[in-house]
Amino acid sequence: MTIINFTPVPALIGGALIGFSAAFLLLAKGRVAGISGIAGGIIYPESRDDIGWRVVFILGLILGGFLYQWSGLGAGVQHIAAVADKPVLIIAGLLVGIGTQIGTGCTSGHGICGLARRSPRSLVATFCFMGSAIVTVYVVRHLMGGAA
């Protein structure tokens, strides 16, 4: 396996920013920074006052990537393209959505925030989705001969 674009410093900074934002959201709003829960709260809000911070959070995620690229810091990333067809991506997205409903959370909610709070449920969920990811990559790359 060849690692391309190994960037430990930006990864460390990005990880610290994720940790800071998760801690800030927990301290400021008493909320866990689980992206599926935040996005779901926009669609099905608990109250009218609950939508604003959620929209700002999601916009920050989207605009942050553009800002990073625009600032020139993401100069090594020229073009990202999906290697799967659109129907496969749609099915994969639906399966991820179903998984977050069944697992009552997503990778950010369980893997970052839940583990930091020492949640046993989040530990089990993280083992499940990481195990599924490992098995999927193995099957696609080694048994099916794909390049996922």
CA-based radius of gyration for the chain: 17
Residues 140, 95: Cα–Cα separation, whole Å: 17
Phi, psi (rounded to 5 degrees) for 144: -100, -10
Residues 140, 136: Cα–Cα separation, whole Å: 6
The pLDDT of residue 131 = 94
Domain-wise residue ranges, the chain: 1-79, 81-148
Q: What integer is the mean pLDDT of 74-99?
A: 80
- Please say whether the dihedral angle defined by the alpha carbons of residues 107, 133, 137 and 144, taken in this order, is positive or negative: negative
Residue 8 has pLDDT above 90, yes or no: no
At 75, is the pLDDT very low, low, confident or very high (cuts 50, 70, 90)? Answer: low
Residue 123 has pLDDT above 90, yes or no: yes
Q: What integer is the mean pLDDT of 107-126?
A: 89
Q: What integer is the mean pLDDT of 38-63?
A: 89
